[in-house]
Amino acid sequence: MLTDTAIRNAKPSTKQTKLYDEKGLFLLVTPRGGKWWRLKYRFEGKEKQLSLGTYPDTGLKDARAERDKARKLLAQSIDPAEHRKTTRHQRAEAAENTRAALQLAPLVFVRPDELRRAEWEEFNLAQATWYLPAEKMKARQPHIVPLSTQAVEILLEIHNLTGTGRYVFPGARSRKKPMSENTINACSRK
C-alpha cells in the first residue's frame, strides 16, 4: 500500500514506473517526473485503465476516493470510463441548452418559466411563430410570439440537440422534464 511519503519521494527513471496501492490503483511516474494516478480494472473481460488525476493536485486520499467511486460503478455493471464520457456529454449538452435559452430570451421577451417550458410542438419555424397555449400563460390567454431570424437560427441550432424530445430546453437530469427554474434564474443573474 502506498504512503504519502513514498509518493513524494518517488523519483523518475529512464522508463515509466508504477507504484501500486491496492484494488487496482497505482501511480505512474514518467521519465519527466510526472505522477499520474491510474486505475486498472476489467470490464466485460477487457482490461482497461482510468485516469484519476495527477499528483500533487490529486492526493492519495482523493485518488482512493475516486477509485472507490469507480469500483461502485463496476459493481453496478457500469464502465467508469464510459460513465465519465456520458457525464461530460450531458454537461456539455446542458451548457449548450442554457446558452441557447439565454440567447433566445431577449429575442422572444417571454417570462423565464414560459421559456424553459417551451415545447417543440408549439413552434412553427417555417412561419417563424411560437404559439403559447392559454394554460401556459399567466393571463390564461393564448399568445403568439413572432420569431426573428436570429431566434429561428438559435432554435434550429438547438433542435439538433433536443428536437427529438418534448422540450426545447430539457432538464439536465431528465429529458422528460423542462430545464429547472434555478438554471435560467442563476444564469440570468450573472
| Confidence at 172, pLDDT banded by 50, 70, 90 | confident
Please indicate whether residue 176 or residue 23 has the higher confidence score (pLDDT).
23
pLDDT at 119: 96
| β partners of residue 144 | 131
Q: Is residue 3 pLDDT above 80, yes or no?
A: yes
| Confidence at 35, pLDDT banded by 50, 70, 90 | very high
Domains of the chain with CATH codes: 4-76 (3.30.160.390), 84-189 (1.10.443.10)
Average pLDDT, the chain: 92
The answer to whether 170 touches 179, Cβ cutoff 8 Å, is: yes
Query: Averaged over 161-169, what is the pLDDT?
Result: 93
Calculate Rg over the CA atoms of the chain. 24
In the numeric block, which cell numbers belong to residue 91?
A: 454537461
pLDDT at 189: 63
The answer to whether 131 touches 146, Cβ cutoff 8 Å, is: no
In the numeric block, which cell numbers belong to residue 63?
A: 485518488
Q: Is residue 187 pLDDT above 70, yes or no?
A: no
Q: What is the pLDDT of residues 87-133, one digit of tens each?
A: 998 888 888 988 999 999 999 998 888 999 999 999 999 999 999 99
Q: Output the CA torsion 81→86→89→91 (10° steps).
A: -100
pLDDT at 111: 87
